[in-house]
A and B are shown apart, each in its own frame.
With several copies, the nearest count.
Chain A
Amino acid sequence: MSNTMTVEFSSISSNESFARVTVAAFVSQLDPTMDELTEIKTVVSEAVTNAIIHGYNDQHDKKILISCTLNDDEVELIIQDDGVGIDNIDEAIQPLFTSKPELERSGMGFTIMENFMDKVEIISNPDQGTTIKLIKQFKKSKTLCN
């Protein structure tokens, strides 16, 4: 049986660390390694920051939705905003591409997600918001301790 949670919160940048620990606490039920947990938290930060600064242009009264499902040794993560959306996804996922160079963005958000997760899917259209679906498999527990 799978275990699911969904959390929705205001698009305020102080909620980024709240989102990180909420997902981390939920995922901790699978008892991943610290490295795996750090990777998940980093990905959550990147996606939530993108929703706030790109999707909502720093408007504070909007909502971000995260949903997380645990299946055996796999976690599925969906991060969603109702913001401006992405016009050209192929361009957006290029390493170093950023539409906000003035904010000293690194343009590495999507690259980090692709590196740390096993599957990344981006569903986005102008004015229809952005949904990022991510899947990560955890290594099966080290056999030594069974």
Chain B
Amino acid sequence: IGEIQRFIRDDGSVKVSRSLKEIGNRIRKKKDELTKDMGRTPTINELALALELSPEEIVHAQEAARLPHSIHETVYE
């Protein structure tokens, strides 16, 4: 189990599907927050600025968060 936890915490060796999904969740929260604050949905640059990510990273992570879980993750969770 220690082995597995180390594998999960070491960011670089984590599978893309998992890591992007975590970023995807942060994006969703921040987007809701900004929408409330501004009274409209943020533009992609406004969101990127608030999250210190590039607009392209946001697009990629948002998509990954939307996809069904891979078998890989189901086993771990």
Contacts and interface: CB of A to CB of B under 8 A. Distances in A.
A and B: bona fide binding partners: yes
Interface of A: 17-18, 20-21, 24-25, 28, 31-35, 37-38, 141-142, 144-145
Would you call the interface of chain A mostly helix, strand, loop, or mixed? helix
A24 B31 contact: no
Interface of B: 4, 7, 11-17, 19-20, 31, 38-47, 54-57, 59-60, 63-64, 66-67, 70-72, 75-76
Would you call the interface of chain B mostly helix, strand, loop, or mixed? helix
Given A33-B41, A33-B42, A35-B41, A28 B16 contact: yes
A26 to B, nearest CB: 9
Given A34-B12, A34-B13, A142-B7, A28 B59 contact: yes
Nearest to B11: A34
B56 A25 contact: yes
A145 B75 contact: yes
Given A20-B63, A24-B59, A31 B11 contact: no
Q: 4 smallest A-B Cβ distances: which pairs?
A: A21-B56, A35-B12, A28-B55, A35-B41
Contacts of A20: 56, 63
Contacts of B17: 28, 31
B50 to A, nearest CB: 12
B22 to A, nearest CB: 11
Contact of A145 (B38, B54, B60): B38
B36 to A, nearest CB: 13
A25 B13 contact: no
A86 to B, nearest CB: 29
